[in-house]
Structure 1
C-alpha cells in the first residue's frame, strides 16, 4: 500500500535539480519521486473501501489520512521543498507500517515497507551514515516484530482479507526493490559509459583524444604490418587560429574548432580515425591508404573548409588549413610517423600556410601542394 519509501530513500541524498549543474539524473529522480507519490496516494485511497468492507474504520481512516498527506507531499515537491517532502514520506511510511502492523497483525505484511529502505539507504548515503541508519532500522524492525507477537491485533480483519493484504504488500516490496535495482543498474551503466567517453574523447569536439588515438593507432599499425598495407597520417592545422581567438574571443574559436571537426568527420571513412591532436590541430589516421590517397583526402578537406565560411556576428570568416602527410615506413613507430607529418606541417607554415606537404620518408624528398588562398 506504499510505493514511495524506496524512492524517498533514493532521493534523500540527491541534491535538488537547481543545485546540480547539468545533472539530468538528479532532476529526473525528483520527477520520478513526484510521480510515485501520486501512485502511493491513489493506492491508499483505493484501499479505503477495502477496509470499510472489512469493518476496519480505523484503517480506512488511516489510509484516507495517508492519501491526503501524499497530496501535501506532492505539492511540496512541486514547489521544490524537497527536504520537507522526503521527511514526510519517511514519517508516513514508518507510521503507516507501524500502525498497520499493530492494527492487523504481523501477517498483514506492513513491515515489508520498512525493508524497502535498506537498499536505498545503502546506495544513496555515505557508508558510515548508511550503517548507522540500517542498524537503527534493524532495531526498530525487531522491536516492532516483538511487539506484534506480544499483542493481539487491535483491529483484526478476516482471514481472506489478511492473506490478500499480505500478498499485495509482498508484491509491492518485490516490485519496488526490483524496479529500483534495475534503475540503479541502468544509471550505473550510463555513468560508466559517460566516464568512458570522457576518458577517450575531446569534450569540445567529441572527437577522439590523443590517448585513445594512440591506442587505436597501435592496432591499425599491427594490422598494416600483418597485411603489408599502407597506413597514412594527415596532421591538420587551422591557419591563423590565434588571430580568430584574439579578434572574436575564445567562444568563437571553440565554435570554429567544432565546425572544422564536423566538416572533417563528414569526409572520412568509417574505418578512419579522426582525433583532436591538440589546440587547433587534428590528426587523421588512414588505414590501407597510400600517401597519394591521403593527399586526395587532404585536398577535399581544404576545398570543403575553403568553401565553408562560418559566420561570427556579422562577419563571415575564411578558414584555410595547412596539412602535413606521412605514410608509415616499414618498422617505423607511430610517434616517428606522426613526427614526420608534423615536420611537413611546419614546412607548410614556413612556406606561407594553406598548403598540403607530403613527407615521403625514405622514398624521396618532401613534396608540396599549394592551394590558393
Structure 2
C-alpha cells in the first residue's frame, strides 16, 4: 500500500467518524426542530441541551481533521471540490456557524424572544447543514465534478444529490433519536424514552425508503458507484450496515440502549466505508484517482507522521470524553454551580 492510499483510508475513517459523532449532534438538532412549541417541546429541548453540552464542540474536531488531511494530502481534490461545489459548502459553513452560535447562546439568554431566535437558528441549521453536505457527496459520486469543472447548480442539485442530502438528514435523525433514547433512559425520563424510540424506528423506515429510491437513481446517474455498491466488498459492507440497523431496532425494543448506540454508529460508519470502497481507486469517479490527486510524497510522509501523533495525543482524550459522557459522568454547570464557584466565595458562602 502506498502512502497516498494510506492517507486516503485515513480520510475515509475521519469522514466516518464525523458522520457518526457529528451526525448524532445534527440529529439532536433535527428533533429539537420537530419538538413543537415552547411548552410542548420544553422537555425534549431540555434533554437535547443536557445531552449535547459536554461533547458538541469536540465532535467538530473530526471536521477540522478532514479539512487538514484533504487540503494537505490531496490538494487537487480539495481545489476541485471547493471550486465546483462552493455554494453548497458555503451554505453548510454558514449553517455550522449559526448552529454553534444558536446552541451556545439560547440557554443563557433570559428573554424568551431571544431564546426563540437562537433556538430556531440552531434547529434549522441542524437540518440544512447535513443536507448540503449530502448534496455535495451526491454530486461527487455522479462524476459531474472533475478537475477544472466550473461551479454550476447541476453539480449539486441533481436527483442523486437531492436523494443523498435527504438520506444524510434521515441518517442524522436516526442517530440522534437512538442517542437521545439512551440519554432519556439514563436521566430517568420514561416518557422521552418512548418518544425517541418511536422516532428512531420511524427514521429507520424513512432511510429504507430513501435507500431504495437512491439505488434506482444511482444506477442510471452514477453507474460506477452503483456497481461498486451492488457487488464485491461494497455489497458486503452495505449488507453489514443493514444488519446493524436492524439490530439497532431490536436493541431499542429491548431497551438495550448502550448497545443500540454502538450498532447505530456502526451502521452509519459502514455505509460511509461502502461508499469509499465502491468508488476505488477513484476519489472523483471516474476522473481522479488517489494517485493523481495525491500531493508530494514528502508532504504525504509528514502528514502520515502528524496523523500518528494526532492519534496518540488527541485520540485518548476524545475516547475518555465520549466514555464519560455516555456513562453520565459529565453534566453542564447550573446557575447554582456558578454561584458556588463565584470569586470571593469561601467554604461558608459569599464573603
TM range (shorter): 0.3 to 0.5
Q: Kindly name which structure, 1 or 2, has the bigger radius of gyration based on alpha carbons.
A: 1
TM-score by length of 2: 0.36
Higher relative contact order (CA 8 A, sep 6+): 2
Higher strand share: 1
